Each structure stands twice: as structure tokens, then as C-alpha cells.
Structure 1
Amino acid sequence: MWGKDRDEALARMRQALAAYHVVGLSTNVAFLQRLVKSEAFRTADLDTGLIERNEAALFPPPAPVGMEIIALATAALLDRETRERRIDAADQHSPWTHAGAWRLNGGATRTLRFAYGSHTLDVTLTANERGSTLIYADQAAPFRASCQADDIRVDLGTRRAHGQVHVEGDDFHVFNAGRHAVLGWLDPLAHAGETEGEGGKLTAPMPGKVIAVMVEPGSTVTRGTPLLVMEAMKMEHTISAPADGVVSEILYGVGEQVAEGAQLLAFEGK
């Protein structure tokens, strides 16, 4: 194939690969998309050394996640929460079964956190009587979304995005403009009260207040020993020792407010 016929055939191949939406198992669709777009494939420079010669183009580092993909994942998450919300059949307009953005004398702010490979992506969604705003990677844009099953459209002011988001547990598979990105929602409530320990650090699972400290600096503890209790979202969360060791420092006292992810104690494992 040469000239126009060749270009049309390559375009059809790219379109066909972009139409594949496969979740739940690993595929080489993304690699095939890069291969079909490569200059070597377009010019039929094909032999057993093709991949080695074009390794940089065929195996690039993961592309950053842009505002459009984040917005689609956020819209899918909010839509899922709306569909899963319990409605009281006896009072379908009860304010206790609706979690909209309306607040008395103010707006609402919510922080969402997604995992993308080894990276953590923080998204802030604010809402008031004027509408919603999505803030991500130092960008802010108006946010509106419409969802019909997995098909989602988002309006970001002067930008619009359309894609499909397939949800598998807490993994959001976002298909947009021929790209497939997997974002894992880090639900703070799913891990509330669990110990977060890494390198001796114990951190707050969500914003809250310290209501009890059960140890002192220098205390020797065993794994699972309660160290500190936080109150957040009207629930108590016990922070426990991640391993046998020594509490070297207590960084917050009773009554102090702590931010999500704040280190609460310094811990030295044995």
C-alpha cells in the first residue's frame, strides 16, 4: 500500500485500536497503538530489529495525567456515589440521604486522592451557589459533568472532554482520546483507623483532632499497641504501632487539630 491508501489503512488501524476497552487483564493495545503511529511502521521499515531501533518511541515513560482524565475519573466517582446512596422510601427528600454540595452560609470543599502508578494525585473539588470548581496540578477550572452509564462528558469552562470510565472496585479505567489510564481511588474511609507506617512514620488518615495519647516518648511497645486516638468525621480512629519498637517522639497533644497525612509520632522499629 502506498500514498493515500496506505495512510487511510493506518488511520483505520489507529481507530480500531483506540476503540478497544479492555479491563481486568493486561494487554499490549497501548504498545500496538504506538507501533502503528511510528515512522518505521508507516514507511514499512520492518525487520527483526524494529523494536530495538525504536525503543525510545515504543516504550516511553508514562505520560502525565492531565486535567481531562482527572475530571472524567472524578465525575465517575461522584456518579457512583450518587447511585449507591441510600434513599429513604418513606421520605425521598430527606436531607440526611442526600449529599449534595449545598451548605448553610457557605460552600463545600472536598479533596480526592488517586493513585497513578507510583504517584499520588490530589484533586480538590469546591462547590457553592455559583457552581463547582475542580483544582488539580495548580490548575483550576469550572466543573460540570453528565454521566450515562460508562459514557461521561465533562465541561471545564473553555475545555470539554468525552470518554468512557469503567470502574473495577476502586480502580477507574479512563479511556479518553485513544488513551487508557488507570487511576486507583484512595478512599480515606476504607482505611480509617489503620496504621500508616513507613520508615517509622505514623500519619493521620484524614483531618481530625487528637483526643487521647496512650504512650510517652521512650515507651517500648509491641506491634498493634494503641498509641493515639483521633476523632475525625464523628468517628474515633486508633493509631497503633506498626511493629515492635520505641516511640521516640509525640508530635501532637490532646486537643490539637491535625491535617490529613500529618505525622503524629516518631517511631523506631526494632
Structure 2
Amino acid sequence: MFSTILIANRGEIAVRVIRTARRMGIRTVAVHSDADAEAMHVALADESRRIGPAPARESYLRIDAIIAAAKASGAEAIHPGYGFLSENAEFAEACAAAGIVFIGPPASAIRAMGSKSAAKALMERAGVPLVPGYHGDDQSAATLRAAAERIGYPLLIKASAGGGGKGMKIVESAAGLEEGLALAKGEARSAFGDDHVLLERYLTRPRHIEIQVFADSQGNTVHLFERDCSIQRRHQKVVEEAPAPGMDPARREAMGRAACDAARAIGYVGAGTVEFIAEGDTFAFMEMNTRLQVEHPVTEAITGQDLVEWQLRVAAGEPLPLSQDALRIDGHAIEVRVYAEDPARDFAPSTGRVDHLRFPEKMPGARIDTGIRQGDAVTIHYDPMIAKLIVHGPDRVAALARLSRALAGTEVAGPATNLALLRAIAANTDFRRGELDTGFIARHADTLLALPGPAPRSALAAAVARLLLDLSPPVALAGADPFSPWNAPTAWRLNGDGFQDFVLEDSEAIHTLRAHLRADGFRLDLPDGPMEVSASEAADGMVSLRLGGDILRARALRRGDRITVFIDGAAHGLRHLDPRAPVEGAGAAAGRILAPMPGKVLDVMVRPEQAVTRGTVLLVLEAMKVQMRITAPADGIVSAVLCAPGDLVEDGAELVSLA
């Protein structure tokens, strides 16, 4: 077994590998960009080597820098994690040339499956069923247009070298083909350096089912059953579970056999995933990912195996730890991905410092994989995933119950997150019945993506309690008489009832509240009637509330004028409006084109004094390797262009002005 390995990745991926390596007594070497110098994976590794500036192309995608770091650290092997260089054949060959073991499949297998087009051609020759499509090398507009007409609409465009939903677009009709191709190819160039695409018929209600395979250098190949990854947004997985709901033994055997045959056909060694699209009683090959997958923990949960340990042992030349006959399914597991993103804004990535982060502690059957700590920042440079929450139970019903409890115990304040969406999915009747397909989120968008309503009475009471507790004990104004009642920032009155007014704003309304102080709390005047409240401070931002006759515990956190109240895990964001503060601008005026998310300006398509019509593409913005075309909201004249290609812009930054 290796004594030292280098992990050519970051975040939760690197943390995951480090934990298994540490358990096995293997020394770990991390790598980091300038943006990750203080990151969690750097702190956990035995040592870490700088490999370049923040952009991935200048750090985590630099083969020469990673090989140099491995040599300097004395690492005998490199684990690529998943993403970045994990499916890069040139990287695998560079490791071999440097005398370093690549903890993954041989370069020939990566090449065989690295191109989706080539992989489909290989599977077609092997007799594996495929979705009708075009997988050829001719990428001319005329050829792609003719292929699209032959396949029919709706159509799916996919980056041949891609993964993770990048370079993937749905085209509903011929009118959208040109734009769909331009966006898919642009994202593919940015993410993979290759704009080759393939076309497939878009199935309307398919399930995404994948098979975990493993092979060793002695010729043994097994599958570790299936995962259902149908719950997706923007073609990226959000919820995964194992085993797949409704999977019968005969179909599991057929899909497992097909996946193992695919692995044997390319001389595979190590961990891999064969992905299928299934609709009705049929299934068809989509692609093979020649690496460990983000969702591997659900397979570990139902099999009791550590797949990273399997990777290390196979890479060290050992045989597979278990044969196919020895593998069993135990219970049911579900994984959800907690992202820093705003589902209400088409899942636009969200950046910023994570001011508060809390996961369910010591909950049976729950596991957290994360590379983020409280106080860390989510940046535009890398994937916005904060954590993976994995639950396991004796059956799906038990796993669902644990999922709901675990989500209720997960709290994030700072960037926007998809936690409300995950809770809504977990509570959805169709999801609980196992009625899944890749269009699930879009079909249930009216409930899953509904904007939060006004903050409930309990959240308003907790926010006012936090403000009052922060004023206690009274603090006199600086330089004033500390004993003068005129200088106490409280609701003290010489005569009559003492009260204090608060104005709180949420996404739906402005709440004007009056708190009448009592010896044991306060009476809060609300629009729908008063409420008697008593409150006491507890640890870590917790507030113990008595609301009338009810007792409630909430976490109320304050940062400047922002207050976040967590009740049963649900977050209620409020802003304390100080009537003495100057009034801010009313937001984006007509004609001001603002950045809908933080990102990088890839291209500017207009110039000052240019006439544009509604829908004209003004510029292309990229964040987390996803491209967005910013268009003119109305006819007008470009009065100013306030950005240039290569600029990094913040959310809300003005990009273009229209007259």
C-alpha cells in the first residue's frame, strides 16, 4: 500500500479522500490555489502545495504544477478525485511518465469513454441500446441541422467531452437550434476545452439510473448495484438514492450485466459509473464516467463498503475486496446536494461568506460530506456545492423520515441556498411515492420553487427578541452620562407604557412592530393582533421563546442590519430598517442592465450608440462554467458599456446602460 498520496482536487472531494487515507494510515498531500490557501482540505491534509492562482485553468487544471507538487512531496500516487483532471487521459499518462501511480483507470479506458460520441459508437458496435441521435465528427452547421431534422424535436445537445450538465441544452424546435448550439459549444469550450457536441432525441419523462462498477488488474469486474439520479436541475443532479425505487431484480441484473460488459470491453480498472436513461420498460446507454461519482456515498451506505479504499487497494495492485456474489443491498440511502444558489433566479450561483453553518449532530443514519466551514467563502471560481447530506435507513420510508429530520437540522446563513427546495422535494407526495423522472423539478415548479411567503409571527417575535437582547444590558451613549435615562437605548419612559418600535423587511413585506416591555418579556403588536412574548438567551444564537402558551426554540443570528431566524431548519431572512438611516436607491432603474449573478464577462456584443431591439444579446456572462446570455429588455440605444471581456463582476453590478 502507498505511504503517501497527493490529492489533485479541492473541497469536499479532497476532504473525503483524506479521511479514508488517514484511516488507512496513508499520509496525504493536498494542493491549493491562492483562493484555497485557508481551505478545509488544506487544514486536514498532512501538507499542502500551492499550484497557482484562483482560476482553475491556472491551478487545478495544470498538469505540470500537480506533477511537480507530487514529486516534491514524495507522493507515490495521485488521487484525482472527481471533476477537474479526473477524466483526463493526458494527466493519467503524465503520472505514468513521472513514475507516479494514477488512482484511476488506464488512459486508454479514459479515452474510450472520454468522448460521448466515441463511447456511443463503441456501445452501438457492442449491441448496447442507444437513444436515437447523432454522434459523428462532422460538426458543421449544415450537418448538425440535418441530423436534428432527422432525429426530431425536442432535441438534446450535449458536449461530447462533458459532464455535470455543462454544455447541455434542450432545443424545443428548429427555431432554437442555432442559439442552443452556440450556448452548448461555448460552455463546452470553457469547461472542457472542446466544443464537439452530439445530438439526441430528448425523452420527455425519463429516469436517470446509473450502475457503479469496479474492476481490478486481475480481470475481476463487479457492479455495486444502481443509483437513481433523476431529480435534477439544469441537467445536474440534486437528489440521488440507492437502490432505485421500483427496481425489480431482473432489471437490476440486466443493467448490472450491461455495465460490467461495457467496463470489460475497454479494459477498465478502478471505479467507474455507467449511466443509463430509462423510460417505461426500456433502458439505453448514455455515457460512462471513468471516475468515482459525487453520489458514491449512497452506494457506500447500502453496501457497507468504502469505495475510496477500494480505489486505493486496486491502484496498489490488490484484487477487489469482494466478489459479485458477496455483495448485498442493505436498506435504502438518499443523498441531497446543498448548493449556494438561488432556485428562484433559475438556480443562479450565489457567492459570499458563510456566516453560519450547522449540520445535524450525532444523528443516527446521517452523514455529512463537506469542504466548507463556517466563515469560509463561496467564490465564483469553483462549484457552489456547500455539502452533501446522506441518510440511510432500513427501508425507503425510514430513509425519507431521516432525510426530513436531517434537513430540519441543517442551517446556512450568508449566500442563498437551495435548502428550501430540498425540503420541498422531501415533502412532495410524488417523490415520497417514488414517482421520479428528470423533469420532476420543472413539473412541480409551482410548489418546489415557490417564493417564500411573509415571515411567520414566530420568526418576527424571534427577530425582535434578538434585537432587544442585543440592547441588554442598556449601554449609554459614548461620552454621555452613564446614569442618565435620556442616553439609554431602550424603551424606558418617565410616564406611561414603555415601548420600542421596530421595522423589519422580508422578501414579501415590511412589518412595522411595536414591543411593549414587561418585566418578563414584551407584548408584540402585530397586524393580526398582539402576542405576549418572553425570551431568554441560550448558547450559539439560540433564543428560548414563550409565545402565549407555546414554547419555541429558535436560532436568531444578527449581522449588521440582517437577521436570520432558523425555526426547524427553515431560514427566514429579515432586514432591520433603521428609520434614521438614509433611504437607499430603489434598485435598478429602467435602462440599467445589471448582472443577475456574480461571474466573468466572456464577450460583449454591443457598442455605445448602437440601436438594439428587445431580445438582442448584449453580452455573455459565465459563473461556475455556466454561460448566460444577457439580453435587452426593450428597444433602445446603448448609452454606455460598463464592462469588458474578462471582467469579474459582482451580483447587481451595472453592465450596460440603455437609453
Pairwise TM-score range, normalised by the shorter structure: 0.5 to 0.7
Match of 2:552 among 135, 147, 161: 161
Contact 2:453 2:508 in 1 (8 A): no
Match of 1:175 among 566, 581, 586: 566
Change (3 A) 1:18 1:128: closer
Pair 1:8 & 2:398 matched = yes
* Aligned-residue offset at 1:36: 1.1
TM-score by length of 1: 0.62
In proportion to residue count, which structure has more helix?
A: 2
Structure 1 counterpart of 2:564, which letter?
A: H
Match of 1:18 in 2: 408
Q: Show structure 2 runs of 5+ residues with no match.
A: 1-330, 333-392, 588-659
Change (3 A) 1:44 1:181: same
**Larger RCO (CA within 8 A; separation ≥ 6):** 1
Change (3 A) 1:108 1:12: same
* Aligned-residue offset at 1:157: 1.7
Match of 2:510 in 1: 120
* Aligned-residue offset at 1:182: 0.2
Contact 2:407 2:423 in 1 (8 A): yes
* Aligned-residue offset at 1:119: 1.7
Match of 2:449 in 1: 59
Local SS of the residue matching 2:451: coil
* Aligned-residue offset at 1:100: 4.6
Change (3 A) 1:186 1:195: closer
Change (3 A) 1:107 1:42: same
* Aligned-residue offset at 1:109: 2.5
Match of 2:522 in 1: 132
Distance in 1 of aligned mates of 2:437 and 2:568: 30
* Aligned-residue offset at 1:173: 0.6
Local SS of the residue matching 1:22: strand
* Aligned-residue offset at 1:21: 1.5
Give % identity: 30
* Aligned-residue offset at 1:93: 6.0
Q: Which structure 2 residues correspond to residues 221-236 of structure 1 after superposition, within 5 A?
A: none
Local SS of the residue matching 1:189: coil
Structure 1 counterpart of 2:398, which letter?
A: E
Change (3 A) 1:4 1:57: farther
The one-character-per-residue Cα deviations of 1:196-228 (angstroms, maximum 9, x if unpaired) are: 999xxxxxxxxxxxxxxxxxxxxxxxxxxxxxx
The one-character-per-residue Cα deviations of 1:58-103 (angstroms, maximum 9, x if unpaired) are: 1223223221110000011112223683489xx9766456445443
Structure 2 counterpart of 1:186, which letter?
A: L
Structure 1 counterpart of 2:403, which letter?
A: M
Match of 1:108 among 481, 485, 498: 498
Contact 2:403 2:426 in 1 (8 A): yes
Q: Which structure 2 residues correspond to residues 14-53 of structure 1 after superposition, within 5 A?
A: 14-53=404-443
* Aligned-residue offset at 1:152: 0.4
Match of 1:217 in 2: none
Superposition CA RMSD, Å: 3.2
Q: Show structure 1 runs of 5+ residues with no match.
A: 199-270
Change (3 A) 1:10 1:99: same
Change (3 A) 1:130 1:12: closer
Structure 2 counterpart of 1:190, which letter?
A: A
* Aligned-residue offset at 1:116: 0.7
Q: Which structure 2 residues correspond to residues 234-249 of structure 1 after superposition, within 5 A?
A: none
Local SS of the residue matching 2:414: coil
The one-character-per-residue Cα deviations of 1:30-70 (angstroms, maximum 9, x if unpaired) are: 11111111112212211112112222221223223221110
Match of 1:190 in 2: 581
* Aligned-residue offset at 1:172: 0.5
Structure whose CA Rg is larger? 2
Contact 1:102 1:129 in 2 (8 A): no
Local SS of the residue matching 1:190: coil
Distance in 1 of aligned mates of 2:500 and 2:486: 18
* Aligned-residue offset at 1:168: 1.9
Distance in 1 of aligned mates of 2:421 and 2:521: 40
Match of 1:145 in 2: 535
* Aligned-residue offset at 1:104: 2.9
Contact 1:135 1:141 in 2 (8 A): yes
Distance in 1 of aligned mates of 2:568 and 2:464: 17
Change (3 A) 1:156 1:196: same
Local SS of the residue matching 1:181: strand
Distance in 2 of aligned mates of 1:156 and 1:172: 19
TM-score by length of 2: 0.27
Change (3 A) 1:40 1:185: same
Contact 2:421 2:448 in 1 (8 A): yes
Local SS of the residue matching 2:411: coil
Q: Which moved more, 1:92-101 or 1:176-185?
A: 92-101
Change (3 A) 1:108 1:84: closer
Local SS of the residue matching 2:406: helix
The one-character-per-residue Cα deviations of 1:103-132 (angstroms, maximum 9, x if unpaired) are: 333112222111111421111112357862
Local SS of the residue matching 2:516: strand
Distance in 1 of aligned mates of 2:561 and 2:409: 23
The one-character-per-residue Cα deviations of 1:147-192 (angstroms, maximum 9, x if unpaired) are: 124100111222232110121221111100231110000011233x
Change (3 A) 1:73 1:163: same
Distance in 2 of aligned mates of 1:107 and 1:84: 18
Change (3 A) 1:161 1:31: same
Contact 2:516 2:522 in 1 (8 A): yes
